[in-house]
Structure 1
Amino acid sequence: MPLTPIQPAPRPRPAALFELTPDWLQWVAENRLWDCAPATMVDTMVNAGQPPELAAAAVAQMDTDPVFIAARRHQQMLRKLESVCANLQNVWQQAPGYAVVERRSGVSRDEMLTRYVHGCRPVVLTDVAHDWPALRRWSPADLRARFGHLDVDVQVGRNQDALFEQHKASLRQRMKLAAFVDLVLEGGATNDHYLTANDEMLRRPEFMPLLQDIGRMPPLCDPALLHTAASFWFGPAGTRTPLHHDTLMLFHTQVTGRKRWRFVSPLQTPLLYNRMHVYSPIDLDAPDFNRYPRLRDVTVLETVLEPGDTLFLPLGWWHQVTALEMSMSFSYTNFAADVPNQFDYVNPTIGNW
């Protein structure tokens, strides 16, 4: 006959926790999970108007709450996973030249696949785009002459929103491409306006002539799929793409101007406070170690893409991009069928707290 499962002994919730509002209860639990100092937590609660006795009791009793104990158990499993990532990262970093983004020419298909795709390493290919007509043709004047009468969706007002990339849909504004060209030329260095991949203009037949300006593809790419997997970027010096990771691999060719790319290994994701989708709140150009202390252990790689350079961005690598000059660039994900490029991520939706 089946055995009757042993029921756990009842464990009542400590009294002080019942007196907290749900927001305060969550705040205490989250800060204890971050291992914040109890005395500092009590001071914060008192300064916010909580009675000193209640604050002290609630912080002290949280560690005995049954729900919190369950959270601590799951946290142990998460920390094991974090330690696995950290140990693998330490092995990666022992490789000669790890901290330098290689600049290569003449990379074969087999080496591209083995060393950079399977090896998950970023690399700059210096010889892929040397024959592209785009390098000789693309300019603000060329865009205005060929496509200025066409509408494009651009992001405007980015300087007014610290989360401009997450809120890109609300910053979308439609205008003639000629008007945007004038805005870029007359507005100087700024992050306030940018024509990004989100416009998807290269999916429209009227912009197909731009694809005729693309020449030889990198190893692993299928040229026949380019029209389904290409994106165009155009903006002034000063445009920024905040720290994030993509959900697939890509190539990115710089056509005019220069862009600085900064990278962080996907194995260091636990150090980047990734609480919302694929974004990190950290600015690698102005790191706040007081607010984000785990950032001190992050290794940042950096490279500057010159016109004609093609970057391979491997899966999951965090990156932050800044245009050093007025810039046009072209990204593409038209990998051949034998190089799978679809991956699933379970992204957090916590938001920044």
Structure 2
Amino acid sequence: MQARAGVTQPLAELHGLRGDALPIDALLAAGEPVVLRGIARDWELVQEGARSMQAAMDCLRRHDNGQPVTYSWGAPDIRGRPFYNDDFTQLNFEVRRGALSQVLDEIAAHAQDASPPTYYVASLLIDTRLPGLRVGNDLGLAAQGIDAPPSIWIGNRVTASCHYDAMNNIAVCAVGRRRFTLFPPEQIHNLYPGPLDPTPGGQSVSVVDFDAPDFARYPRFSDALAAARSAVLEPGDAIFMPSLWWHHVQALEAFNVLVNTWWSSVPAHVPTPMHALYHAIWALRDRPEREKEAWREVFDYYVFGAAGQAGGHLPPQARGALAPMDDALARQMRAMLIAKLNR
């Protein structure tokens, strides 16, 4: 990470907090990432990992229900970076399916390799695949009104290329250390996002190689680095990442486990804005510039302004789609859009 040395700012930190007492509302209102030092230091998995890699693996095996898992495998030459081939038309790794115990055995078998194959079990739902693991390994976020299932990420020295998530995220570094480098949402212009499809993990990623950035090819990346914030998380630390913050995550040990919880700040009847993004690319991007400027004003009025402004001068019975969104109106909007798109 030579290119980042002396450039990134440290992430803000909070100490001495419990998961069931996190100031979630204040964190969301601030909209800033924060490292939560030691918040999970008492987890069973953290304690077992402190004993040894094998002890942490045995902890996972005790809860494995034996169902196959999907995982990424990459040859040693990808250097732990699930990414693309040279022309961005294919991914540089394979998606495999097998027993979790087999994946753990193979990670252990290559733990001393200087250039091991890449193994990455991503976003595995704990409650359905490792039942019982949450007992003794849970932040207690339900006490904060966050009723969302946690996921687990298991692998060796894997780099998750810089990307953003549509939801808020609290991620616990349970085994091994991880380096997080974050960028505010407006840095999308300087991060050179790759294809929308295919992607290494579901979201578009920066195509810049953070270990060896090509500033001649990606000159604006230097501006992104000036806005970057970074921290190394130790086992038992966690990080809060607000939605749409870009994050580049490097697992630093031969065996690493992360547990995260995503949740949305809006009700379930509000869909992901990614659907709207694809529709806008289709319907707006290639229009004449004058029309795009006019549509920007329309969107500012109806979408990006205050939620009630567009229909505020109308009587409630006449507001239609401009009324406050609830489950019934969401179903009507969905039905209307499906009907229009199917014409």
For Structure 1 versus Structure 2, the TM-score category normalised by the shorter chain is: 0.5 to 0.7
In the other structure, the counterpart of 2:155 is 235
Tell me the TM-score normalized by structure 1.
0.60
**Is 1:101 aligned to 2:7, yes or no?**
no
Tell me the TM-score normalized by structure 2.
0.61
In the other structure, the counterpart of 1:140 is 57
Corresponding pairs, count: 245
Report the secondary structure of 1:297's partner residue: helix
In the other structure, the counterpart of 1:176 is 99
Going from structure 1 to structure 2, the CA distance change for 1:167 and 1:243 (only over 3 Å counts) comes to farther
C-alpha deviations, 1:135-182, integer Å up to 9, x for none? 234611222344284421111126557428996798221111121111
Highest RCO, 1 vs 2 (Cα 8 Å, sep ≥ 6): 2
In the other structure, the counterpart of 2:134 is 211
**Is 1:113 aligned to 2:25, yes or no?**
yes
Runs of 5+ consecutive residues of structure 2 not aligned to the other structure: 1-7, 50-55, 197-203, 286-343
Report the secondary structure of 2:35's partner residue: strand
2:183–2:229 Cα contact (<8 Å) kept: yes
Distance 2:66 2:243 in 1: 37
Runs of 5+ consecutive residues of structure 1 not aligned to the other structure: 1-97
Distance 2:68 2:125 in 1: 9
1:129–1:217 Cα contact (<8 Å) kept: no
Distance 1:209 1:255 in 2: 16
Choose from 215, 239, 252 the match for 1:324. 252
Distance 2:132 2:238 in 1: 21
C-alpha deviations, 1:213-248, integer Å up to 9, x for none? 32333598436x34xx21111111x21101111111
How big is the alpha-carbon RMSD for the aligned residues of Structure 1 and Structure 2? Answer: 3.5
The CA deviation at 1:342 is 6.4
C-alpha deviations, 1:9-39, integer Å up to 9, x for none? xxxxxxxxxxxxxxxxxxxxxxxxxxxxxxx
Choose from 255, 264, 268 the match for 2:183. 264
Pairs within 5 Å for 1:36-51: none
**Is 1:128 aligned to 2:39, yes or no?**
yes
Amino acid at match of 1:283: D
2:125–2:150 Cα contact (<8 Å) kept: no
Deviates more, 1:121-130 or 1:158-167: 158-167
In the other structure, the counterpart of 1:294 is 220
**Is 1:283 aligned to 2:209, yes or no?**
yes
Relative to its length, the structure with more helix (as a share) is 1
The CA deviation at 1:260 is 0.7
Distance 1:218 1:175 in 2: 31
Going from structure 1 to structure 2, the CA distance change for 1:337 and 1:290 (only over 3 Å counts) comes to closer
Report the secondary structure of 2:134's partner residue: helix
